[in-house]
Amino acid sequence: MESSSSKIADNDTKKERGSREEKIQKLREEIEWKVFGRDKELEHICGLFRKRSDAEEISSTSSKPYDVFVIHGIAGSGKSTLAKHICQHEKKAQNKHFHHVIFSQVSVTFRLDKIFRDMLRDIRNDRLSDGKDIESLCYEVKEKIKGKRFLLVLDDLWVNDKNLMEQEILLNALGNGENGSIILVTAQREDAAADLGRQERILLCNLEEEVYLSLFMHHALQCTVDKDHKFERVGRTIVKKLTTAKNLHRSPMAAVTVARRLQTKQDISYWESIAKRDMLNETMGALWWSYHQLCVDIRRCFAYCSTFPRGYDLDRDELVHIWIALGLIKTLDNEKEEFEDVGLRYIEELLKFSFLQERTTETFTIHDLLHELVERVAGSDILRIDLNGLPKNIPPGCRHVFIEAKNGAEIAEKIQGLENLDTLVIEEPITCTDFLQ
């Protein structure tokens, strides 16, 4: 682990640090990472992309320069991983089909300004200031993709009728692209992208059992040599339980989370004791077990993350400073360790065991399955208020409130009576003006 953020700030300017983070992110994106059991899907989908690039075919069937593809399946089935695999494949293709390949995580909250920023970040290959308003972002996106063929991934899209205006503005901007462009959506529901236009829908099926086992053992053993295949034999027992657990459906996320925890203890007797646990057969049981292997302080910090909605971009330094302010980070009396250093160490452990997933070197998200788990842990401590307004029943013991509404300040006044309130986060959505022409 490097020095804390405060020490980095003393040695480097903010600009220099930003440049360094950009370079690290770029180098990480160039790493070839292993994806299990999705080569056929990748080949099929990328082949469809190229068929749709025939300008004559497109012009005769659609007035738009893009087609919409939807990869749908249950939570944890690997939709985002496949989409990222496709992006990496297209970026590295010898005969580049797309001028721009862009990945944007959408989730429950459809933030048009965030999607535009993600697009411009990937197109310009640099960081983008938060200072620009949504209208300026829209015009710049239109200009940058004009006459260019793009692949835009909208990851984890949810059905939300309140997003229709934002979706209309996005599609209008994307209309400046070249024929053969693709919008690739990942979603749990088949109809999540119904408002985006004519589309090809692809159901992502479960991994085959042997492939699932290979995925599990890859993360459980890493570079360890499995003499006599004794770990694999126990691994098969564990995988059998994971594949039959209700509602997990051979979830790659469950396999990776459990495997990475086992990887820390290459002791066959320990593996055998885990294989006997009945909770691996239960809904969310594998993830619940993995969560409880974290130390209690890290569990508290992770539980706090459920304050934010699914798919929310968590900023590394901001999150650590909130943990510190809430007294969630503990330092050992006999160690001269800064709170920031401890917080960053917590982040590293949550990343290591897949409780956090990297968006960039500085931002993270939580997988939907793990967000569901941590919501159960937090219980009535957390209250999220969305565009629907103030809920009828507010838990009196609520400690952390996240408000996403145009009248956020007004709602905040109505909940001032919460005696145990520790955190109040207000995000007012940007109002989209009519600039579709």
296-427 placed in CATH 1.10.760: no
**pLDDT tens-digit readout, 168-201:** 999 999 999 999 999 999 998 888 888 888 789 9
Higher pLDDT, 202 or 161: 202
Mean of the pLDDT values across residues 337-350? 92
d(CA 85, CA 301): 31
436 falls in which pLDDT band (50, 70, 90)?
A: very low
| pLDDT value, residue 6 | 47
- DSSP string over 176-205: TS-TTEEEEEEESSTTTTGGG-SEEEEE-P
**pLDDT tens-digit readout, 287-338:** 899 999 999 999 999 999 999 988 888 999 999 999 999 999 987 655 677 8
Of 27-36, 43-52, 200-209, 426-435, give the lowest mean pLDDT range: 426-435
Dihedral angle sign, alpha carbons of residues 342, 347, 351, 355: positive
Q: Is-contact 216 239, C-beta < 8 A?
A: yes
User: How do strand 363-365 and strand 314-315 relate by DSSP bridges?
Assistant: antiparallel
Dihedral angle sign, alpha carbons of residues 37, 42, 44, 45: positive
**pLDDT tens-digit readout, 117-145:** 999 988 887 666 555 788 999 999 999 99
Q: Note if the pTM is more than 0.75.
A: yes
Residue from 65, 385, 185, 77 nearest 393 by CA: 385
Of 26-35, 95-104, 111-120, 417-426, give the lowest mean pLDDT range: 26-35
**pLDDT tens-digit readout, 206-265:** 889 899 999 999 999 987 778 888 999 999 999 988 887 766 677 888 889 999 999 998
Q: Is-contact 390 417, C-beta < 8 A?
A: no
Distance of alpha carbon 154 from its chain centroid, rounded? 11
**CA angle at residue 168 from 162 to 171, to 5 degrees?**
135
Model confidence at 7: pLDDT above 50: no
| pLDDT value, residue 316 | 93
| pLDDT value, residue 334 | 55
Higher pLDDT, 206 or 1: 206
d(CA 110, CA 164): 10
| pLDDT value, residue 178 | 93
**pLDDT tens-digit readout, 50-102:** 887 664 454 445 578 999 999 998 888 889 999 999 999 999 887 889 999 99
Residues in the chain: 437
Domain layout of the chain by residue ranges: 32-203, 209-292, 296-427
Q: Residue 198 burial by CB count (10 A; 0-12/13-18/19+): exposed, middle or buried?
A: exposed
| pLDDT value, residue 194 | 84
**pLDDT tens-digit readout, 371-420:** 989 998 888 888 888 766 666 677 778 889 888 777 677 777 777 777 88
430's torsion region: left (phi>0), alpha (psi -120 to 50) or beta?
beta
CATH class as words, domain 32-203: alpha beta
Q: Residue 187 burial by CB count (10 A; 0-12/13-18/19+): exposed, middle or buried?
A: buried
DSSP 76: T
| pLDDT value, residue 234 | 94
Q: Do domains 32-203 and 296-427 have the same CATH topology?
A: no
356's torsion region: left (phi>0), alpha (psi -120 to 50) or beta?
beta
